[in-house]
Amino acid sequence: MRRGHACVLCGAEALERVRARSVHAPLEPRHFAVTDYAYGTTLDLFRCRGCGLLQCDDAGGVLKHYEQLEDDAYEAGREQRRLQMRYLLTRLRPYAARGALLDIGAASGILVEEACRLGYDARGIEPGRAFQAAAAQRGLRVTLGTLPHADLTGPFDVVTLVDVIEHVEDPVDLLRNATRLLRPGGVGLLVTPDVHSLAARLMGRRWWHYRPAHITYFDRQTARRLVHTCGLSLVSAFRPTWVFPLDYLWERATSYLPARLRFRLPRRGAAIGVPLNLRDSLALIVRRPLTS
């Protein structure tokens, strides 16, 4: 039992270490790349005996790494990522078909760009200087920084956080700041890996979402607790489908094999988009109440 360190979700000082740190070098921006595939590599992980949240409490301030991050491989999969974002927005549209949208952790603005195509008045916020610059080069409204931000006062009809809350050291603070930007009755979309999914349990310590960049690991119960803690109501939940370039999937799948058995795919067809749903991510559509 680790005393004196409180759970980031429920505040209980009852953290039990369940996994020892396997990142032994000092953390650097490269550890936080979106396309990193050092699967199974984590910091010390603790489980809260109060609410069950799996979390790291010794990351030592990760924001500086995201600010400096450069991830050239991310843009190579832009078309496939665009299809992913269109899928998510299509699932969101029955609850908020139009209006002002803010994407939090927008990277190079792929969701922002796709939301604009679908008729939203969309913009984003992103701490990474290289990502934000890439969005600006495309003429996308992505603000450099984090919440709260003086240039983003809302209200917004929609906020989205796609694979973001697991990367921050205080997900409650982030979601509360996002909620303040939502108009009463506004809708939010959260997507995050599910640490208690069947895939996570089958893969064990080598699950692909065990990575240095992931600070908190949610499941259905803790994700719902996060939502309710921040004053939001859960409207819908689903398991999202992702689209990956074939070579991206191949490279990561073969990383589990001995080096002598790995080989690269022929260039022809390597960028084909492959839809995949391993049911190990959660997508929650939430709403801010009309009255608080």
Q: Mean pLDDT for the chain?
A: 90
Region 31-55: mean pLDDT is 91
According to the model, what pLDDT value does residue 24 have?
A: 80
In a domain, 85, yes or no: yes
Q: How far is CA 133 from CA 76, 93, 140, 144, 147, in A?
A: 16, 28, 10, 9, 18
In a domain, 269, yes or no: no
Task: Look up residue 56 and give its two tokens.
Answer: 């790291």
The Cβ of residue 207 has, within 10 Å, a number of other Cβ atoms equal to: 19
In a domain, 9, yes or no: no
Q: CATH number for the domain including 181?
A: 3.40.50.150
Region 169-194: mean pLDDT is 98
72-76, 182-186, 233-237: least confident range: 72-76
* pTM, to two decimals: 0.90
Residues β-bridged to residue 81: none
SS3 152: strand
According to the model, what pLDDT value does residue 276 have?
A: 82
pLDDT in tens, 95-131: 999 999 999 999 999 999 999 999 999 999 999 999 9
Residues β-bridged to residue 242: 276
Question: Which domain range does residue 66 map to?
Answer: 15-257+275-287
In a domain, 208, yes or no: yes
Residue 165 and residue 9 in contact, taking contact as beta carbons nearer than 8 Å: no
pLDDT at 265 over 60: no
pLDDT at 1 over 60: no
The Cβ of residue 61 has, within 10 Å, a number of other Cβ atoms equal to: 8
In a domain, 3, yes or no: no
Residue 187 and residue 234 in contact, taking contact as beta carbons nearer than 8 Å: no
Both ends of the chain: CA-CA distance in Å?
37
Task: Look up residue 267 and give its two tokens.
Answer: 């260039």
According to the model, what pLDDT value does residue 250 have?
A: 59
In a domain, 125, yes or no: yes
Residues β-bridged to residue 274: 244
Task: Look up residue 28 and give its two tokens.
Answer: 């650097």
pLDDT in tens, 122-173: 999 999 999 999 999 999 999 999 999 999 998 999 999 999 999 999 999 9
Residues β-bridged to residue 217: 54
In a domain, 265, yes or no: no
Count of domains for the chain: 1
Task: Look up residue 285 and give its two tokens.
Answer: 């559509």
Q: How far is CA 103 from CA 30, 35, 85, 93, 108, in A?
A: 23, 20, 11, 15, 11
In a domain, 58, yes or no: yes
